[in-house]
C-alpha cells in the first residue's frame, strides 16, 4: 500500500485513500530520506510523506497500529525544509507512539519482520495467565564493562529479577536492543569508564522507549555510578533518572537498595512512569 499513485491526487483525495489503507493495516512504515518531496494541491503545504504521517498520528485504535519511521543512518539532508521535518519527527513522534528507527536496511527489515511475527496482545493472554510474573531489568553498559556490570546483574538476579545486558554487536543486536527497550520493566545505566556523552546517549534511548511501549509503564530508571569516581559523575544531575552511587567500598547490594525498594513498591501499587 498505497495501491494508487498518490502524487497524482490532491490533498483531500490522498487523506481518504490513506485513511482507508490504515484501517486495513496493523503496521505502517514511513521511509524518510534527504529531500522533502512533492507537495500536493490542497494538502496544507505538506509533502506526501508528512501528510501520511499526520494521518497515522490521528489513528484512533489505541496502539493497535504499529507506526515506524525509518531514517537511514548517515543521511545528509541539504533541504532545509526536510531538516525541519526530521527534527519534528525526532522530537514529537516518539511521545505519540511512533518508533523512530535510524538503522541500516538489513536491521530495519529484521525489525519489521519481528513486528509482523509478534503475536497480538490478545493472543498472548493464555501465556500471560500461566507465566511467572518476574520483572525484567535492562542493564545498559559499554561492551568493555560487561564484566564489571555482572556484579550488579548478579545482585539483582539474586533478588528475583530477570536482568539483561546489552546484546553482542552483530546484525541482530539493534533489533534485540529495541525489543528490550520495549519490554523491560526497569532500566539501569551502568556508568563506569564512559563519559557523559555516552550516558546522555543511553538516556536518550530510554526517552525513545516510551514511544515503543504502547502504554506499558516503566517502573524505574536509574544510573549506577561505578568506579572510578570522577567530578563529572559526582556533579551529574538529570530529571530523567536518579543516581545510585556505587563507588568502592560500597557494596552493590547497598547501592541498589533505592532501586529495589522502588520496584517492590511498584509490585504493590502498579507502575509509575
CATH number of the domain that 222 lies in? 3.40.50.2300
Number of domains in the chain: 2
Q: Residue 246 and residue 145: Cα distance in Å, rounded?
A: 15
Select from 123, 152, 176 the last residue of a domain.
Answer: 123
- Residue 67's pLDDT is 87
Domain co-membership, 23 together with 141: no
The three-state secondary structure class of 29 is strand
Do 163 and 203 lie in a common domain? yes
137 and 217 together in one domain: yes
Residue 137 belongs to a domain? yes
Paired with 98 in beta bridges are 67
Amino acid 272: pLDDT? 53
Residue 161 sits in the same domain as residue 199 = yes
Whether residues 145 and 262 fall in one domain: yes
Give the pLDDT score at 112: 84
Q: What is the pLDDT of residue 103?
A: 84
116, 145: one domain: no
- Quick one: 99 and 139 in the same domain? no
- Give yes or no: residues 188 and 65 share one domain: no
Within a domain: residue 1? Answer: no
**pTM of the entire structure?**
0.55
Do 65 and 193 lie in one domain? The reply is no
Residue where a domain stops, chosen among 99, 123, 147: 123
Asked which of 74, 90, 123 is the last residue of a domain, the reply is 123
What is the pLDDT, as a whole number, of residue 128?
39
Q: Are residues 119 and 197 in the same domain?
A: no
Per-residue pLDDT of the chain (273 residues; tens, 9 = 90+): 566 788 888 889 988 888 888 888 888 999 999 999 889 899 889 999 999 999 888 775 545 678 899 999 888 999 999 999 999 998 888 877 888 888 888 888 887 887 776 544 444 444 434 334 679 999 999 988 988 999 999 999 999 999 999 887 765 788 888 889 988 999 999 999 999 999 999 999 888 887 777 778 899 999 999 999 999 999 999 999 999 999 999 999 999 999 999 998 887 665 555
Q: Is 53 exposed, middle or buried (0-12, 13-18, 19+ CB in 10 A)?
A: buried
Q: Using DSSP, state whether 251 is helix, strand or coil.
A: coil
Which pLDDT value is given to residue 96?
79
Residues 222 and 105 in one domain: no
Q: Helices (DSSP H) in the chain: which residue ranges?
A: 11-23, 48-57, 80-92, 105-117, 125-130, 146-158, 173-183, 196-209, 231-235, 252-255, 257-269
Q: Are the C-beta atoms of 143 and 166 separated by less than 8 Å?
A: yes
Can you read off the three cell numbers belonging to residue 268?
Answer: 504493590
Q: Residue 178 domain-assigned? A: yes
Does 236 lie in the same domain as 112?
Answer: no
Residue 94 domain boundaries: 6-123
Amino acid at each position: 500500500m498505497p495501491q494508487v499513485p498518490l502524487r497524482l491526487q490532491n490533498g483531500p483525495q490522498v487523506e481518504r485513500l490513506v485513511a482507508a489503507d490504515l484501517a486495513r493495516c496493523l503496521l505502517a512504515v514511513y521511509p524518510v530520506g534527504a529531500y522533502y518531496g512533492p507537495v500536493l494541491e490542497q494538502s496544507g503545504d505538506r509533502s506526501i510523506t508528512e501528510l501520511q504521517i499526520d494521518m497515522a498520528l490521528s489513528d484512533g485504535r489505541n496502539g493497535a497500529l504499529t507506526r515506524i519511521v525509518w531514517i537511514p543512518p548517515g543521511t545528509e539532508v541539504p533541504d532545509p525544509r526536510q531538516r525541519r521535518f526530521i527534527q519534528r519527527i525526532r522530537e514529537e513522534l516518539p511521545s505519540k507512539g511512533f518508533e523512530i528507527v535510524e538503522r541500516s536496511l538489513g536491521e530495519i527489515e529484521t525489525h519489521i519482520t519481528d513486528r509482523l511475527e509478534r503475536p497480538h496482545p490478545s493472543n498472548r493472554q493464555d501465556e500471560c495467565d500461566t507465566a511467572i510474573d518476574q520483572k525484567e531489568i535492562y542493564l545498559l553498559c559499554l561492551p568493555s564493562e560487561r564484566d564489571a556490570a555482572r556484579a550488579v546483574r548478579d545482585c539483582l538476579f539474586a533478588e528475583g529479577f530477570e536482568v539483561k545486558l546489552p546484546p553482542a554487536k552483530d546484525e541482530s543486536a539493534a533489533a534485540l536492543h529495541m525489543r528490550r527497550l520495549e519490554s523491560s520493566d526497569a532500566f539501569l545505566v551502568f556508568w563506569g569508564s564512559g563519559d557523559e556523552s555516552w550516558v546522555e546517549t543511553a538516556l536518550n534511548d530510554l526517552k525513545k522507549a516510551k514511544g515503543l511501549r504502547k502504554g506499558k509503564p516503566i517502573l524505574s530508571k536509574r544510573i549506577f555510578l561505578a568506579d572510578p569516581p570522577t567530578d563529572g559523575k559526582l556533579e551529574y544531575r538529570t530529571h530523567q533518572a536518579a543516581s545510585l552511587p556505587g563507588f568502592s567500598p560500597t557494596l552493590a547490594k547497598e547501592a541498589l537498595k533505592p532501586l529495589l525498594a522502588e520496584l517492590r513498591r511498584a509490585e504493590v501499587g502498579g507502575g509509575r512512569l
